[in-house]
Amino acid sequence: MKEEDRRNRPVFEKREYHTDSFGIFFGVESILYSGRSRFQNIEIFANKSFGNVLILDGLVQTTEKDEFFYHEMLVHPAFTAHPSPQSALIIGGGDGGITKEILRYPVERVKQVEIDAAVIAASEKFFPWLSSARRDPRYELLIGDGAEYVRTTAEKYDIILVDSSEPIGPSRVLHNKAFYENVKRRLNPEGVIAAQAGSPFYHFPFIQECLSFLKKIFKIARLYTGPVPSYPGGGWCYAFLSAGTDPLQLKKNPPPGLKYYNHDVHKAAFALPAFMKTGI
Amino acid sequence: MKEEDRRNRPVFEKREYHTDSFGIFFGVESILYSGRSRFQNIEIFANKSFGNVLILDGLVQTTEKDEFFYHEMLVHPAFTAHPSPQSALIIGGGDGGITKEILRYPVERVKQVEIDAAVIAASEKFFPWLSSARRDPRYELLIGDGAEYVRTTAEKYDIILVDSSEPIGPSRVLHNKAFYENVKRRLNPEGVIAAQAGSPFYHFPFIQECLSFLKKIFKIARLYTGPVPSYPGGGWCYAFLSAGTDPLQLKKNPPPGLKYYNHDVHKAAFALPAFMKTGI
């Protein structure tokens, strides 16, 4: 779209800096929520192209228009590679998108541990199409520290999804070795963990660092990628972790109605570009 | 990166609007070139994160840092699927990145038809690492209209690459049926055409429209995708067209030294997400 063709630009804008000299901007139609919780700054606004947008500490977490790329790719590879997942744990994921994707499956129980009750409350109001899945009787919410929960609970799960924000705010502890050692202990024998792992283009050294300790903890520790238009670099990286369950041996079909995920893109997502083997 | 952490932000910025309420911004360290040719506005500036950036009519074409995603994915799928490419034609591609990728192969001749001599001249100066391949004796440049060239020439090629800009400026004619009917006539029997086809996220209806006429012209007309961080949506779509040469039967290894392309991502690129089959 040509710059000179732009008309009716909103006066207010919200930006995310991907580096100190590059980033994205959203025109703001209306500010829906703006506040500081005990843990982070929370902003929700309406944008003409992306619908409602959730920003935590200045970083885009979820937009109405493109949330499906991220939420489908964090949930469905783990669920279709597991032979029969009955229980799932979500660490983080306050906006509700992960819960919505999980409850498409006939699981028995889903537990979510989210540290920030304010994110839950704001999402209930401004992302009801994501968070309404929380009314499902199979779902249970615990407001608390996910790292502490996996360190102390005796519960075990078939699938554990780590839907953290970037490793600079309250999610810092969700990106270290001790956390993943505890997560591993909470996993049933054929269980699978999927975790968001950052931008291949911007965060590759950090991804490599995490992968190196994950490979020491898990028999299978594989990275996979997929697009997310509103995230830095337009694409995102995820980690698939298990004690043996193979990410490329698909055990079941995905539920109907998905917008991004299918078996073809599942397999394709594990094909890594040259720079993710050698550095960029 | 947190907004409040930003320091030393450059005062000048250059933007690209992806929609009327969303886009990207670059801090401008220095403006290297700014002018209007007979065909379009040409701007080149230096950015701290992306290096030198080329913008035509307000749209990012090439950045020093991430050009390899696009140029490798337009060139190498066609070249590795063809049994023995000896000749190649480039329509557009004034910055020189496509030429550079092609000349990694032992081809006999490469012809480039670029309409805008000003893009060639500016790229020679500010993207020498891309355009220096033009000194290769196998390379020949014709300044002219690519659509007119394929309509009137008698020459034939093993590979034809359509490196057009968006269908709003001088590249408008490179996105229609008559152009591709002429391109087909310029192709040797086992020949392959690869063409840039837009953003899956933003331009999907237009991509569908083009694919529908391409399927009538070519026995094989397949879309494939790959990331390009500085392009709208962070990912791009390409078309692979042939009279029978199969995009998934790879005939040779890629040249050494590539940053994105390998055989794994080649095959993965043809796995299309659910919305590219059903609409977004």
Query: pLDDT tens digit string along A227-241?
Result: 999 999 999 999 999
pLDDT (0 to 100) of residue B169: 66
Mean pLDDT along residues A256-266:
97
| Confidence check on the interface: ipTM exceeds 0.85, yes or no | yes
- Pick out chain B residues at pLDDT < 50: 1, 3-4, 280
Rg value, chain B, Cα: 18
Q: What's the whole-model pTM score?
A: 0.94
Fold for domain B67-278? Answer: Rossmann fold (3.40.50)
Indicate if A163 belongs to the active site: yes
Considering the domain delimited by B12-63, tell me its CATH architecture.
Answer: Roll (2.30)
Instruction: Name every chain A residue with its beta carbon within 8 A of the beta carbon of B253.
Output: none
Mean pLDDT along residues A252-261:
97
Residues forming CATH 2.30.140.10 domain(s) in chain B:
12-63
Residues forming CATH 3.40.50.150 domain(s) in chain B:
67-278
pLDDT (0 to 100) of residue A165: 79
Instruction: Name every chain A residue with its beta carbon within 8 A of the beta carbon of B49.
Output: 18-22
Percent of chain A with pLDDT over 70: 92
In contact, A44 and A55? CB cutoff 8 Å: yes
pLDDT (0 to 100) of residue B1: 47
Instruction: Report the CATH number of the A3-63 domain.
Output: 2.30.140.10
> pLDDT class for A77, splitting at 50, 70, 90?
very high
Residues forming CATH 2.30.140.10 domain(s) in chain A:
3-63
Asked if residue A139 has pLDDT above 50, the reply is yes
Q: What is the mean pLDDT of chain A?
A: 93
Q: Which residues of B246-259 are buried (b: 16+ CB within 10 A; e: fewer)?
A: ebeeeeeebbeebb
Question: Which bin fits B92, alpha (ψ -120 to 50), beta or left (φ > 0)?
Answer: left
Phi, psi of A78 (to 5 degrees): -65, -45
* Min Cα–Cα distance to chain A from B143, Å: 25
CB contact (8 A) between residue A235 and residue B235? yes
Q: Which of B136, B163, B246, B264 is catalytic?
A: B163
Mean pLDDT along residues A185-210:
94
User: Hey, what's the torsion of the CAs at B64, B65, B69, B75, to 10 degrees?
Assistant: 30
Asked if residue A63 has pLDDT above 80, the reply is yes
CB contact (8 A) between residue B48 and residue A1? no
Q: Which residues of A238-248 are buried (b: 16+ CB within 10 A; e: fewer)?
A: bbbbbbebebe
- Distances in Å between the Cα of B5 and the Cα atoms of A18, A58, A136, B185, B247 are 11, 10, 40, 56, 46
CB contact (8 A) between residue A24 and residue B25? yes
Beta strands per DSSP E along chain A: 13-19, 22-27, 30-36, 41-47, 51-56, 59-63, 87-92, 109-114, 139-143, 157-163, 187-198, 220-227, 235-242
Q: Which residue type sits at B233?
A: G
> pLDDT class for A166, splitting at 50, 70, 90?
confident
Instruction: Name every chain A residue with its beta carbon within 8 A of the beta carbon of B274.
Output: 258-262, 265
